[in-house]
């Protein structure tokens, strides 16, 4: 498994395969638990993707489901092995919330990332100095050591921008995020220059919604939409605040609502070229 690949995605795929196989075999989760001498919670956690499944358990489960085709068995075993491998972010499990940890797993396997931020620069576009300033101020209870660890994690997440092929990034920010940035005299020009440099990459699109757009739908929202490479995987929507974070998975309707909202925000933005000109002018005025 490469540094950028995520075990969560094969775990997500195998859970669907196993749920479908159980239903085709006419079995309930309770009957599977009884036949396998497992707890019901173990069956549920496997089918929800909360945990992986060992190849030994999988082989026994496939026999119960009357799956004997060698090719399908081999594919499922390979998925199970990939789902149980450790990724680079495993060492950060205890430093972030379980929800954000899952977000990192999904982010690493996304083919397209769409994000809207009304106040802050998106994490994948942040400089180290800006990330340190934001993280240290975001929560008053965080220690200096925790700040450093989270900054390191944020910088390491940005490695996916250099993988081949990299994901497509569509980032929308409100003008407030830029104006607030300029208020940090020691950070503003460096961060703006970094964003302008990233915008030269063909896979990165940054758009700014100007104050002149006025009040608009989604003005107080904060969300990211992760589109995974496999057509069988539905989009994932992620929301975050200073107190908590939330995922929306396997909800095609909600994902569709936020895709439409995102495209609406793009319509009222300055567009890629206009946004680049805007950022260059702000950077030049404050150099």
What are the structure tokens assigned to 147, written together? 């700040």
What is the pLDDT at residue 282?
93
Count of structural domains, the chain:
2
What's the distance, Cα to Cα, between the start and end of the chain in Å? 43
* Domain endpoint, select from 38, 60, 84: 84
Instruction: Judge if 79 and 107 occupy the same domain.
Output: no
Q: Are residues 170 and 218 in the same domain?
A: yes
Phi then psi for 186, rounded to 5 degrees? -80, -10
Assess whether 186 and 254 both reside in one domain: yes
Identify the sign of the CA torsion 104, 105, 109, 114. Answer: negative
Residues 53 and 160 in one domain: no
Domain boundary among 61, 84, 107: 84
The CATH number that applies at residue 145 is: 3.30.870
Domain with 64 in it: what CATH number?
A: 1.10.260.40
Within a domain: residue 89? Answer: no
Is the same domain home to 103 and 78?
no
pLDDT at 233: 65
List the chain residues with pLDDT less than 70: 1-5, 139-140, 230-233, 241-245, 249-250
Instruction: Confirm if 76 and 17 have CB atoms less than 8 A apart.
Output: yes
Residues 128-172: tens digit of each pLDDT: 999 999 998 876 678 889 999 999 999 999 999 998 899 999 999
**127 and 48 part of one domain:** no
Residue 35 included in any domain? yes
Asked if residue 166 belongs to a domain, the reply is yes
Pair (223, 275) in one structural domain: yes
90 lies in some domain: no
DSSP 234: P
Asked if 6 contacts 108 with a C-beta cutoff of 8 angstroms, the reply is yes
| pLDDT score, position 2 | 41
**pLDDT in the model for residue 232:** 55
Does residue 3 sit within a domain? no
pLDDT for the residue numbered 4: 46
Answer yes or no: do 108 and 50 share one domain: no
* pTM across the whole model: 0.80
Q: Kindly report the backbone phi and psi dihedral angles of residue 205, in degrees, each rounded to the nearest multiple of 5, phi listed first.
A: -120, 125
23 and 132 part of one domain? no
In this structure, the answer to whether residues 136 and 70 fall within a common structural domain is no
Do 106 and 247 fall into the same domain? yes
End position of a domain, from candidates 25, 56, 84:
84
**How high is the pLDDT of residue 62?**
95
Q: For the purposes of burial, counting CB atoms within 10 Å of the CB of 16, is it exposed (0-12), middle (13-18) or buried (19 or more)? A: middle
Give the range of the structural domain holding residue 66, as residue numbers without chain letter.
8-84
In a domain, 30, yes or no: yes
Cis peptide before 119 (omega within 30 of 0): no
My answer on whether 140 and 274 are in the same domain is yes
């Amino acid at each position: 498994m490469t540094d950028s690949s995520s075990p969560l995605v094969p775990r997500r795929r195998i859970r669907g395969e196993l749920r479908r196989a159980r239903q085709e075999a006419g079995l309930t989760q309770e009957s599977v638990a009884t036949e396998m001498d497992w707890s019901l919670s173990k069956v549920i956690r496997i089918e929800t993707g909360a945990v992986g499944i060992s190849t030994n358990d999988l082989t026994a489960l496939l026999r119960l489901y009357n799956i004997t085709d060698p090719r399908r068995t081999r594919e499922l075993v390979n998925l199970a092995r990939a789902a149980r491998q450790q990724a680079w972010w495993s060492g950060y499990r205890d430093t972030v919330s379980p929800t954000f940890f899952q977000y990192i797993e999904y982010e690493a396997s996304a083919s397209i990332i769409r994000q809207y931020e009304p106040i802050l620069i998106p994490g994948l576009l942040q400089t180290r100095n800006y990330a340190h300033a934001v993280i240290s101020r975001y929560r008053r209870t965080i220690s200096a050591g925790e700040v450093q660890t989270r900054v390191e994690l944020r910088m390491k997440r940005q490695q996916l921008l250099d993988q081949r092929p990299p994901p497509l990034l569509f980032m929308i920010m409100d003008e407030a995020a830029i104006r607030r940035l300029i208020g940090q005299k020691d950070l503003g020009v460096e961060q703006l220059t970094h964003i302008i440099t990233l915008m030269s990459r063909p896979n990165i699109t940054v758009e700014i919604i100007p104050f002149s757009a006025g009040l608009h739908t989604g003005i107080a929202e904060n969300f990211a939409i992760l589109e995974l490479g496999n057509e069988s995987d539905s989009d994932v929507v992620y929301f975050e605040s200073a107190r908590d974070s939330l995922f929306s998975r396997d909800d095609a309707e909600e994902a569709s609502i936020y895709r439409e909202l995102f495209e609406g925000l793009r319509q009222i933005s300055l567009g890629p070229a206009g946004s680049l000109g805007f950022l260059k002018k702000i950077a030049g005025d404050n150099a």
